[in-house]
Amino acid sequence: MDEILIVENLQKYFIKTNWLGKQSSLVKAVDGISFSVRRGEIFVLAGESGSGKSTIAKLILKSIDSDAGKITFDGAEISNKKESLKRIRMGCQMVYQDPYDSINPRMKVKDIVSEPIEIHKIGNAKQREDLVREALHEVRLEPADEIMEKYPGALSGGQRQRVVLARALVMKPKMIIADEPVSMLDVSVRAEILELMENLRQKYNISFVYITHDLATAKYFGHAIAIIYLGKIVEMGPINDILLHPKHPYTQALLDAISEPDPNNIYKEKIVRVREPLDIDAYQGCRFQARCPYAFEKCKIEPNLEDIGNNRKVACFAKLD
């Protein structure tokens, strides 16, 4: 089987309440999301804050339960049964956005990295120490024996994120979900961390689900991409095709938002000028219509995610040329 992860019609709604505790609105955080990730592939989930990207990660790892849908990991459907949860939580690891909040500052590096293998009762004390040392070598934290005895406060942000990556790697996972793993790091360090993850992917054939709002790093790191807006995939396909020739106005708007390193192009005209959202029900029709400069009458109907060839899909009635 070529696919390590298959997500089908995943759904998660949240009820917002007012100060009296009564329901005020329904938030469709994830609404009918479907995609698959091949073994050894880097699949990007991209969109603005609040699009539902991180909720998808929590649903995959069963940190929260879905309202509907099916998740298949490594050939087996994931359920709430003990063995099923163990399967996904051993085979799929998480790398979080903030290396300062995702590790305990009172624990030594060796204890942070060994925590998952202790939870899953893998090996004895000596074997665990060897696994920790090996993981630190893999993420280029040297000398490993010295790093193991340090506390996070003695490390830089980039080094802390390498510790987080080592903690994921120590389980020898088949897939890693990386949620904005470089957004909190200095620009000079970001490329190093992405290059490290790419080297690990090649060496161990690890699949990555890379969650980001930054299409610049997505293009550098990813193979395939799904663009998400308000809980819906609006465009999906090979990353170079999507980012070089976007069909959905929202994808183009995200591309226009990328910082421009060339000072001569700072004032270049944006291809899509996104409107401010109107005070309307965002879930009626196309969810982007209130902000889309190309919206017309038909956009009051919700578009389906349609196959347009070359492994590409788009949900838009006003496709860009």
Per-residue pLDDT of 25-70, as tens digits, reads 889 999 999 999 999 999 999 999 889 999 999 999 999 999 999 9
* Averaged pLDDT, 160-164: 93
* More confident: 277 or 115: 115
What pTM value is reported for the model? 0.91
pLDDT per position as a tens digit, 163-216: 999 999 999 999 999 999 988 888 888 889 999 999 999 999 999 999 999 999
Closest by CA to 220, choosing from 6, 11, 42, is 42
SS (H, E, C) the chain: CCEEEEEEEEEEEEEEECCCCCEEEEEEEEEEEEEEEECCCEEEEECCCCCCHHHHHHHHCCCCCCCEEEEEECCEECCCCHHHHHHHHHHEEEECCCCCCCCCCCCCHHHHHHHHHHHCCCCCHHHHHHHHHHHHHHCCCCCHHHHHCCCHHHCCHHHHHHHHHHHHHCCCCCEEEEECCCCCCCHHHHHHHHHHHHHHHHHHCCEEEEEECCHHHHHHHCCEEEEEECCEEEEEEEHHHHHHCCCCHHHHHHHHCCCCCCHHHCCCCCCCCCCCCCCCCCCCCCCCCCCCCCCCHHHHCCCCCEEEECCEEECCCCCCC
Would you place residue 273 in the very low, low, confident or very high pLDDT band (cuts 50, 70, 90)?
low
Q: Which residues are CB-contacts of 79 (< 8 A; sequence separation ≥ 6)?
A: 85
Would you place residue 281 in the very low, low, confident or very high pLDDT band (cuts 50, 70, 90)?
low
* More confident: 269 or 81: 81
pLDDT tops 80 at residue 259: no
Of how many residues is the chain composed? 321
pLDDT in the model for residue 184: 82
pLDDT in the model for residue 149: 95
Are 236 and 303 spatial neighbours (Cβ–Cβ below 8 Å)?
no
Among the four given CATH numbers 3.40.190.10, 3.30.230.10, 2.60.40.420, 3.40.50.300, the one describing domain 3-314: 3.40.50.300
pLDDT tops 60 at residue 278: no
Q: Which residues are CB-contacts of 184 (< 8 A; sequence separation ≥ 6)?
A: 97, 98, 99, 100, 157, 161
Would you place residue 279 in the very low, low, confident or very high pLDDT band (cuts 50, 70, 90)?
very low
Would you place residue 280 in the very low, low, confident or very high pLDDT band (cuts 50, 70, 90)?
very low
